[in-house]
Structures are given as structure tokens and as C-alpha cells.
Chain A
């Protein structure tokens, strides 16, 4: 079955860290751009980061630059989002997506990150 499965979410205090993972199955991950998009409770979609097929290109939304790092391990078919210095406003469901370009056509079901004291 073709799918993406996110994990690693949870409750963390402000200033803390989490590492999200996105495991792919049924696809050749190394052919695809990967992305993380988040959705705060009751809000719309916000793009967070992209990573090129071979990991050579990365881009981030300004609000997470210097705090979040996207990476990938194509051999393990997994993409990561290392999140440091977390803020209350980072609370959201985080979705990973894949696609041959930047119009991402396969999505995971998401993992909830809650930043609260």
C-alpha cells in the first residue's frame, strides 16, 4: 500500500525539542520532493519546509528558520523534521507530503504537536 505515516508528535514544554518522522511505503522516496505542512487547531494550512529528492535543497518558512531542520534518509524511506526551541504557536497537526514537484499528491494522516507548560 502506498502511504506516508508520521510519528514523533506529543506534548512538550516551550523551549523543548521534538523530532518528527515520516515513513514511506509503496513509493520510491528518492524520486520525490518531500514537505512538512502544519495546521494549528481550527486554522488553515501552513507550509513549513521542503527538501529536494537527494537532500541537496531545503527551504523553510521564516517563522521556523534557525529552529527547525528537515532531513531525509532515502535508504530508510524516512523524512525527518527536527524541531528545537519550540513555541506555543508551533502547536499544530504536522502533515508530511510527497510529490514529483512542489504540488504534493500523497499525504500522511498527521501527528499532533502540543507545546504547552
Chain B
């Protein structure tokens, strides 16, 4: 199984500052057949379902603000919020969908300083 390890577990950032979340996979999620990384990022606010932010490691879901971006390849990935806003307070999860079982990282809680 793919083990997804996120860091840090929690992050406190001032409004307008950068937030960076890391995700490491125990195996590569880069497909050699289509050269795509099978890695997604989700945002979850209290009492709400997960919301897809990023797929293919760096493709933003329509409607997601461009201050949120994804990068990385193979086993190491990053979600960056370039200028943290109040509405970004949430828990963020990475997820690999390269193969079953689909697996999520443990989550990173982002709060305002």
C-alpha cells in the first residue's frame, strides 16, 4: 500500500503570509505511461465534506483561487497557499489515486496566528 506522510501536523500562519504543506509518498505516484502524478489535495472545514483543490499534483480545480497551488513529482509534493486568508483555515489532506487502496495523508491543520 502507498503510505502518505504529511508534514507538519499543524501550521499557524499570519494573514497574508505563505503556508506550505508537504506530502511524501512511500512509492512513486508518477505513471510512466501518461507522465502524470496521481496525487490530489483536499480541503476540509469543520462539519463539511472534503473539497477537491488540486489533482494531477498541480492542476487546480475550477473555482479554486490561484493563491493555492500544488507542485512536486514522484514521491514528494507540496501544497502552497501564497497569501493566507481567513477562509483558508481548514484541514488539508493529500491523497494518492495511483492504485487501490486509495490512501490519504494524516492531514495538516492550518490556523491563523
A contacts, CB < 8 Å to B: 35, 37, 44-47, 50, 59-62, 95, 97, 99, 101-105, 107-110
Residues of B70-87 whose CB lies within 8 A of A = none
Which residues of A are found within 8 Å of B97, using beta-carbon distances?
A: 101-103
Q: Are A102 and B50 in contact (CB under 8 A)?
A: no
CB-nearest residue of chain A to B61: A105
Q: Add 18 more A-B contacts to A61-B101, A99-B52 (CB < 8 A).
A: A35-B102, A44-B93, A44-B104, A45-B44, A45-B95, A47-B102, A60-B101, A62-B101, A95-B49, A95-B50, A97-B50, A101-B55, A103-B38, A103-B52, A103-B55, A103-B56, A105-B52, A108-B49
Which residues of A are found within 8 Å of B106, using beta-carbon distances?
A: 44
Output the least CB separation between A45 and chain B (Å): 5
User: Given that A101-B97, A103-B97 are contacting pairs, would A47 and B104 also be in contact in the complex, using a CB cutoff of 8 Å?
Assistant: yes
Q: Are A44 and B107 in contact (CB under 8 A)?
A: yes
CB-nearest residue of chain B to A104: B52
Which residues of B are found within 8 Å of A99, using beta-carbon distances?
A: 52
Q: Are B49 and A107 in contact (CB under 8 A)?
A: yes
Residues of B92-106 whose CB lies within 8 A of A = 93, 95, 97, 100-106
What per-residue 1/0 map shows which CB atoms of B36-51 lie under 8 Å from chain A?
0010101010001111
Which residues of B are found within 8 Å of A97, using beta-carbon distances?
A: 49-50
Which residues of B are found within 8 Å of A104, using beta-carbon distances?
A: 52
